[in-house]
């Protein structure tokens, strides 16, 4: 198979590494990729939102499958663009249609979907400028904290959690007035759920599914889960609190009705469903859906998949997932992100990275890196994700932290407390 993988982060490096292990792979191309993905294939400089370019390039390179890493091309309709064209419709696309991607692209759409298919989630109210008074009344009539979510994609920044009712009301007005542009023209006000979060991933063909290894990520920049939100500072798979009893509830109360809903609504959905969950009184509730894999969760989830990943993806694209078993490494995996000083606010790029170990049982995933002449340099906020295995997540983290300490670049920062709450 010739495969084109879209994206440039640690997630895509991790997917590329798993694809490269498959005997089924002829050529792997990654657009645009990073210095790590180029260890497993050929990076190509394509604009992943220019679907005409992606289509003609894919035809010229006899691509059989396009795997979409990030959400933006999916929400913009890359699946539909490839399938609507007689010349490219034979290409398998891993990632849903624009309609299916609305599960991530619109919080209000996702809430209505969960309501219709009885998927447990926080109570909510959808608010626009037309029913702003109803929104204010909802806040006044319910106890805080208040969760305000911009309906559309807002680069991970569109969720505000506010303790005080008056403050929540003024934030609601600001959001509706365009604080997050068009993304907050609609706002979802949600009941606050208090619990521990985790991430479940299913690969689906739109009717059947396989569940991938469960993970927990750490989104805040500071130790003890403090400070600003980031894309993710580290992850553990599996988190020990996700018992098989809890996982059974997740499957029967959440994954099954979600996939049934996708099937009943008739979405073209061949790809990953990432379900952000929270455990409250030992019951799982959905915090959000995403239409792609998580980052950095992929850096612990994919290394634990021992099955041939191309076989899994092909079964999804052929609609034969019900015949597939997934083989998962029973060891624990943990990853820690090394980030640029200043991230998630302003940071500098182009810092030379040194002391990457060449012989180690750990995996060094590149997130924001590139080659500059003969130097490996930083090229993003999140720079490297160091994944290790162990009999438990603590042993895995011990190996990761030794390497995190050794690798050097100016401004390097990482959280040394990943897993602190487990």
Which parts of this chain interact with ligand GLY (CB under 6 A)? 217, 232, 290, 294-295, 297
Nearest-approach distance from CB 147 to ligand AMP, in angstroms: 4
Candidates 261, 276, 341, 390: give the one binding ligand AMP (CB under 6 A): 276
Distance separating alpha carbons of residues 117 and 291, to the nearest angstrom: 18
288 binds, among ligand AMP, ligand GLY, none (CB under 5 to 8 A by kind): ligand AMP
- Asked whether the beta carbons of 375 and 309 are under 8 A apart, the reply is no
Distance separating alpha carbons of residues 165 and 139, to the nearest angstrom: 6
- In whole angstroms, how far apart are CA 182 and each of 71, 99, 160? 17, 18, 16
Nearest-approach distance from CB 293 to ligand GLY, in angstroms: 7
Site membership for ligand AMP, residue 120 (CB under 6 A):
no
Grouping H, G, I as helix, E, B as strand and the rest as coil, residue 21 is: coil
Give me 159's structure tokens: 């969720």
Candidates 65, 101, 147, 176: give the one binding ligand AMP (CB under 6 A): 147
Measured over all CA atoms, what is the biggest interatomic distance in the chain, rounded to whole angstroms? 62
Backbone angles phi, psi at 188, to 5 degrees: -105, 120
Nearest-approach distance from CB 135 to ligand AMP, in angstroms: 16
How many angstroms from the chain centroid is the CA of residue 82? Answer: 23
Contacts of 346 (CB under 8 A, 6+ apart): none
16 binds, among ligand AMP, ligand GLY, none (CB under 5 to 8 A by kind): none
147 binds, among ligand AMP, ligand GLY, none (CB under 5 to 8 A by kind): ligand AMP
Q: Which is nearer to ligand AMP, 151 or 314 (CB)?
A: 151
Distance separating alpha carbons of residues 217 and 237, to the nearest angstrom: 9
Candidates 63, 72, 114, 122: give the one binding ligand AMP (CB under 6 A): 122
Helices (H) and strands (E) in the chain, counts: 13, 22
Site membership for ligand AMP, residue 190 (CB under 6 A):
yes
122 binds, among ligand GLY, ligand AMP, none (CB under 5 to 8 A by kind): ligand AMP
Q: Which is nearer to ligand GLY, 73 or 294 (CB)?
A: 294
Nearest-approach distance from CB 320 to ligand AMP, in angstroms: 32
**Residue labelled with tokens 């699946």:** 79
Find, among 117, 59, 113, the residue nearest to 86 by Cα: 59
Q: What is the DSSP letter of 251?
A: I
Beta bridge partners of 4: 29, 66
Name the one range near ligand AMP by CB under 6 A: 30-38, 76-84, 187-195, 329-337.
187-195
Convert residues 277-316 into a mask of x (bound to ligand AMP by CB under 6 A) and - (unbound): ----------xx----------------------------
* Binding site residues, ligand AMP, CB under 6 A: 122, 147, 149, 159, 190, 192-193, 197, 276, 287-288
């Amino acid at each position: 198979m010739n495969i084109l993988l879209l994206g440039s982060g640690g997630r895509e490096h991790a997917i590329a590494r798993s694809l490269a292990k498959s005997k089924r792979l002829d050529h792997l191309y990654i657009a645009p990729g990073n210095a790590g993905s180029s260890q497993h294939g050929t990076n190509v400089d394509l604009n992943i939102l220019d679907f005409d370019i992606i289509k003609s390039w894919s035809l010229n390179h006899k691509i059989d499958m396009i795997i979409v890493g990030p959400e933006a091309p999916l929400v913009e309709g890359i699946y539909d663009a490839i399938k609507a064209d007689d010349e490219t419709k034979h290409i398998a696309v891993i990632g849903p249609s624009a309609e299916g991607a609305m599960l991530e692209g619109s919080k209000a759409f996702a809430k209505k979907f969960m309501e219709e298919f009885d998927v447990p989630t926080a109570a909510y109210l959808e608010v626009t400028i037309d029913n702003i008074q109803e929104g204010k009344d909802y806040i006044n009539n319910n106890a805080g904290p208040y969760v305000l979510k911009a309906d559309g994609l807002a680069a991970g920044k569109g969720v505000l959690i506010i303790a005080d009712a008056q403050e929540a009301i003024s934030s609601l007005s600001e959001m509706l007035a365009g604080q997050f542009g068009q993304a907050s023209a609609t706002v979802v006000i949600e009941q606050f759920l208090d619990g521990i979060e985790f991430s479940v991933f299913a690969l689906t063909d739109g009717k059947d599914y396989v569940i991938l290894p469960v993970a927990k990520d750490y989104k805040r920049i500071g130790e003890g889960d403090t400070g600003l939100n980031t894309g993710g500072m580290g992850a553990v798979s599996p988190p020990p609190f996700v018992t098989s009893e809890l996982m059974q509830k997740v499957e029967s109360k959440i994954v099954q009705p979600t996939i049934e809903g996708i099937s009943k609504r008739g979405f073209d959905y061949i790809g990953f469903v990432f379900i952000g969950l929270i455990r409250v009184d030992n019951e799982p509730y959905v915090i959000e859906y995403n239409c792609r894999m998580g980052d950095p969760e992929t850096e612990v989830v994919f290394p634990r998949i021992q099955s041939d990943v191309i076989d899994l993806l092909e079964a999804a694209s052929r609609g034969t997932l019900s015949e597939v078993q997934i083989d998962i490494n029973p060891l624990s995996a943990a990853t820690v992100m090394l980030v640029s000083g200043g991230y998630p606010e302003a940071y500098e790029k182009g810092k030379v990275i040194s002391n990457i170990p060449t012989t180690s049982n750990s995996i060094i995933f590149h997130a924001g890196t590139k080659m500059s002449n003969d130097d490996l340099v930083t090229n993003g906020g999140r720079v490297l994700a160091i994944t290790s295995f162990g009999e438990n997540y603590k042993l895995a983290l011990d190996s990761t932290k030794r390497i995190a300490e050794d690798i050097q670049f100016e401004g390097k920062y990482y959280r040394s407390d990943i897993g602190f709450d487990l």
